[in-house]
Structure formats: C-alpha cells, structure tokens
C-alpha cells in the first residue's frame, strides 16, 4: 500500500503494492490522505519524496478491477471525486515534493507524479495516459497538470493516442527535471538539499511559483498578508483588547 517513513527532515511516501505494480485503490487514496495530514501537522518535515518500493514500476495506474465495479454513479461520486480531493491535498502540501519515477508511470500513476513539484526519472522510466485505449478518460487532474508542464499539443498526443513516452522524451518535453541511473537516490538528495534551506522561505517560494503557474494568486496573497500581520504589535494588541473586553490602543505607525 503506501507507507510513510522519515529520514531526518525528509518524509518518504513509499508505494508498496508490488503484486499489482502499485495500482491505486480507494484504500490507498485514504492512506495518502492520512499521510498528508500527518505531514502537514509535523513542523519537522521540510521536504517529501514520493517513490516506489519496486525498481520496475512507479505506479501502473488506477486499479481497473476496483473502479470498473463501481458503475457510473460510483465513478462520479466516489472514485473521481475522492481522487481529485486527495491529489489536490497532496499537491498542496506546503513543503516541496519530489517524485522518484522508475519503470512505468501510467494513468493515475502519472497523475500522481504530476502532483509533485519535481520529478526525477530513471533511464528505464516510461510515462503514459493510456485511458482512451480502454474507453475511459484521465480522471484525476492529469490533463490539466500535464498541459501546464508540456503544453496542450504534446498532452493531446499522449492522451489521445495513449502511447507511452520514454525518459529522454519526457526530459526533452519538460515532464521530468532529470534522468538519472538511480531515481530514488537522486530524489532523496534533492529533497535533503531543499530541506537544508530556510523552512519558511522555501515554503513561501513554492507558494509563489504555484500561484504564478496557475494564474490564481488571490489565495497566496491572502496567506502572505495574513502571515505578515500575524507578527505585528497591532495584532497582539487587538487580541489582548478582545480578551479584556476593551477598545484596542494601537500604537503609532
């Protein structure tokens, strides 16, 4: 399933369902959700690595046997909705995330890797959105996230044909940051380097880049503004006045 491990200031999320090439289930989504909650609540975590326990596969996608048994309403109300919610939570972690992709990253597996800030691939890695080949569509935000990385034309090439691309192509297209011999080791090194930086500066920088990339800066501005005023004497006086049930006495500017 999905394990949470710690190595200093780096948290490791380890996909470990070897008999099914880490094919994702609702139970695994629930585990990922719980691990995100734990990571969010741990100030000692400064970076996250997402990797597989298998050298030959990152994640083969969503478990076909599970989602195909849900029916149309189950796909709508449970499978797609839950995947979107959990993937959005993972993508929104305040600390940077690095995916180590070795072997196949297909369908939901590629969509999961796309939630990370950085992706490191082994030379044997392959990437695909093969859903059209079995009469379905990518359902967990993959097309939007992929188009933001590699552009709509190349995203359409992958999504409309379902054909896999290799690691050098993924690097040339901008889907991955690096292609190396040992993706897990390199991802760990990158995460440790990130974790050695100033925690608040790193997390704010991630937030700024995400806001610029999505074209939705309002939430980022709100968060940064709130963080700024939270450290002022005015707020301390305002809270004290509220507790003491008196008018606040704000100092000179």
Active site residues: 111, 131
Closest CA to 217 of 226, 207, 206: 207
Determine the Cα–Cα distance for residues 195 and 46; give it in Å rounded to an integer: 5
Determine the Cα–Cα distance for residues 29 and 69; give it in Å rounded to an integer: 17
Burial readout 208-240 (b: 16 or more C-beta within 10 A, e: otherwise): eebbeeeeeeeebeeeeeeeeeeeeeeeeeeee
Question: Using an 8 Å Cβ cutoff, are 48 and 10 in contact?
Answer: yes
Q: Within 13 Å of residue 96, how many CA atoms lie on the same side as its CB?
A: 25
Main-chain dihedrals φ then ψ at residue 109, nearest 5 degrees: -70, -40
């Amino acid at each position: 399933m999905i394990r949470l491990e710690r190595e200093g200031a780096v948290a490791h999320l380890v996909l470990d369902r070897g008999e099914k090439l880490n094919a994702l289930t609702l139970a695994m989504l629930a585990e990922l959700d719980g691990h995100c909650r734990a990571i969010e609540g741990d100030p000692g975590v400064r970076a996250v690595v997402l990797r597989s326990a298998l050298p030959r596969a990152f994640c083969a996608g969503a478990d076909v046997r599970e989602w195909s048994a849900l029916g149309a309403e189950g796909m709508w109300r449970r499978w797609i909705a839950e995947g979107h919610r959990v993937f959005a939570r993972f993508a929104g972690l305040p600390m940077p995330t690095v995916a180590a992709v070795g072997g196949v990253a297909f369908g939901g597996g590629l969509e999961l890797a796309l939630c990370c800030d950085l992706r490191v691939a082994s030379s044997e890695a392959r990437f695909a959105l093969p859903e059209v080949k079995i009469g379905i569509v990518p359902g967990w935000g993959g097309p939007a996230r992929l188009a933001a990385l590699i552009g709509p034309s190349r995203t359409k090439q992958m999504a409309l044909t379902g054909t896999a691309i290799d690691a050098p192509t993924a690097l040339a297209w901008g889907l991955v940051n690096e292609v190396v011999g040992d993706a897990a080791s390199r991802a760990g090194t990158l995460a440790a380097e990130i974790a050695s930086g100033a925690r608040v500066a790193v997390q704010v920088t991630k937030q700024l880049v995400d806001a610029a990339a999505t074209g939705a800066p309002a939430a980022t501005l709100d968060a940064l503004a709130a963080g700024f005023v939270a450290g002022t004497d005015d707020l301390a006086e305002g809270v004290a006045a509220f507790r003491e049930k008196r008018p606040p006495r704000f100092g000179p500017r």
